[in-house]
Amino acid sequence: MPTYDLQDPTDVDILRANFDIISRSEWDEYIALAEERNIGYKNINILKTAERKAGISKFLSPKVILWVMDLVERLDADDEEE
Whole-model pTM: value is: 0.88
Contact indicator for 16, 51 with CB cutoff of 8 Å: no
Domain-wise residue ranges, the chain: 9-81
Question: Confidence band (pLDDT; 50, 70, 90) for 82?
Answer: low
CA–CA separation, 32 vs 65, rounded Å? 19
What's at 2, amino acid-wise? P
State how far the Cα of 15 lies from the Cα of 7, in Å rounded to an integer.
12
For residue 81, pLDDT beyond 70: no
CA–CA dist 5, 2 (Å, integer)? 10
Q: Give pLDDT tens digits for 4-34.
A: 889 999 999 999 999 999 999 999 999 999 9
